[in-house]
Amino acid sequence: MTYLKAFARWLLRLLYRVKVQGLEHFDQAAERVLVIANHTSFLDAVLLTVYLPDNITFAINTHMARHWWLKPWFKLVPVFPMDPTNPLSAKSLINYIKSGQTAVIFPEGRITVTGTLMKIYDGTGLVAEKSGASVIPIRIDGAQYTPFSRLRGRVRLRWFPQVSMTVLPPQRICSPEHIQGRARRQYAGKALSRIMTDMMFATSSYRATLFEALLDARRIHGSKHLIIEDTERTPLSYRRVIADSLLLGKHLKPLTDRQHPVGLLLPSMNGALLSFMALQAHGRIPALLDYTLEGDSLRELCDAAGIQSIITSKVFIRFARLSHTLATLKSRFRIIYLEDIARTMNWRDKLHSLFASYFARGIYLARSGKPSPDDTAVIVFNQQQAIHYSHANLLANRNQINVVIDFNSRDIILNALPLHNPFSLTAGTLLPLLSGLRVFFYPAENHYRIVPEISYEINATILFSTNRTLLGYAEHAHPYDFYCMRHVFTGGEQLTRQTRQQWMEKFGIRLLEGFGLPQTGPVLCTNTPINYKLNSVGQFLPGIEWRLRDQDAQGYGMLEVKGPNIAHDGWYQTGQKARLDDDGFVYLAETSRG
């Protein structure tokens, strides 16, 4: 068996360049060990068998145990058939682990068909709790992109992607003594689910820059994968986005500098995103300007942020009737029109940029000044305050959302929120761009008849919006306009009962309310399809610490938070009064709603 494992390791390392981290955590575990892992593909059991210490037993679904092609594997590795619907199976496994054995189990009970965690069975948590075992979480990543996964049609499959396994420190599940029976089983299941969710985020990569993350997304999803589209109806692939960003950035570089942020006065359109990434590619800091503000207010914000140049569009200025605002800004700042830059580009420039896109990582490192993940990536404004998001802030929040929501590359996000809105920037723009989801930009969220019609036309599946806007859509849309919609997320203001009921009655869609602030990346917590409670704003995203100050008799206290997504060192005082129930769902006090 030792020689067979050595050969298998060599072969896996050759084919999949397997990287394993954290095996030393097995030395920290007690005598009884329960290994839990996410289930990405049929390769998972092979990977765990080959790289984990000897004498492990796999607890597998009895249905899977009947497959003939698994019989040879059963002769090499001890197997414990387990029926998740039979309580006696769980009891037998508990006694087996108590005897000092190490068991491996996939708490989802099946290979993922969404790309993220599936339902976590309560029985696995109860096994961990009643056996007194040290729970060792293991994250398997990369195997979901092989043909041995069940994600065909949802992600780009390839034969030999790089695969990694990350072993986290052991943990224990201990339920309070007063909880017994079914409540104890549910408590243990929820505790295990939190361990799995935290594992997925803790092992995700957010210590990078936005442009590096864009290049990584191209590698995973393919250069030809169409990723953004707007009302011009010309969808752009990763190759085009990267090539056009390098081309536009090359022309913007002599008009800007690294010492001063560059204002973006643009609507949610392809041009705005390309301008944003063009500045990222060349080490410039975009500052997203709210074009609904008066000219004097915008000028004061730009002065305070140190902005010297503003990028905008002549067509947009006419469309939004911002001539007076622009006249106010012209007297103080350099105005750069995208149309003027486009006229200076010739076919040689475009051909060169397309060629350069194949070597984009090296070009980025040479032109950008090699920014750190902790450097400012973008500036947004909340009233008169400039908020500096680092690259790590934005990528952390994007990963936190990705862990708890089942997004996939079949999804089409309809984003009608303005780009200067932090919710639009993170959830509606960066999340799809960096995760292989197609996003359609529309420049006016309050076009209550047009936006639903576009949703119907493009088969949109994800929508981010606000209560007021969703109510407008419900009043003007056709009942079938959102027929393809899987998830609708709302934040920024309290979701009213009227809006919730109208969407359920007219479209049959359950609205998912969340909460966050501009300083928090912005999402702090959200309801999800798998974890939802009426009138709450959901559970905190993984990686976020929280505490309540000066709690009253009802349990409400001033909420303070800390985490990698928060553009603030240490504990951040949200100014919101909140309470949490026993399941970790957050409820905001009505008097503190923003």
Give residue for tokens 């494992």.
5
Among 220, 169, 162, 155, which residue's Cα sits nearest to residue 198?
169
**Amino acid found at 302:** C
In 10 A of CB 575, how many CB atoms? 11
- Cα 5 from Cα 501, distance rounded (Å): 58
Integer-rounded Cα Rg, in Å, for the chain is 26
Residue 217 φ/ψ, nearest 5 degrees: -65, -40
In 10 A of CB 350, how many CB atoms? 13
Residue 97 φ/ψ, nearest 5 degrees: -70, -40
Q: Looking at the DSSP assignment, which residues form a beta bridge with residue 464? A: 489
Residue 126 φ/ψ, nearest 5 degrees: -65, -40
Catalytic: which of 39, 388, 420, 487? 39
- Cα 508 from Cα 158, distance rounded (Å): 37
298 Cα distance to chain centroid: 31
DSSP category for residue 525: E
**Amino acid found at 520:** T
- Cα 333 from Cα 330, distance rounded (Å): 5
Give residue for tokens 């969340």.
514
In this structure, the chain runs to a length of 594
DSSP category for residue 253: G
Q: Is 478 a catalytic residue?
A: no
Q: Which residues contact 503 (CB under 8 A, 6 or more apart)?
A: 470, 474, 488, 509, 510, 511
Give residue for tokens 């309070």.
176
- Cα 363 from Cα 212, distance rounded (Å): 11
Q: Strands across the sheet with 134-141, in order?
A: 19-21, 164-167, 134-141, 33-37, 102-105, 56-61, 79-82
CB 118 within 8 A of CB 149: no
- Cα 249 from Cα 522, distance rounded (Å): 27
- Cα 227 from Cα 218, distance rounded (Å): 10
Residue 312 φ/ψ, nearest 5 degrees: -150, -170
∠ CA 203-208-211, rounded to 5°: 130
Q: Is 28 exposed, middle or buried (0-12, 13-18, 19+ CB in 10 A)?
A: exposed
- For 155, the 3-state DSSP assignment is strand
| Residues with active-site annotation | 39
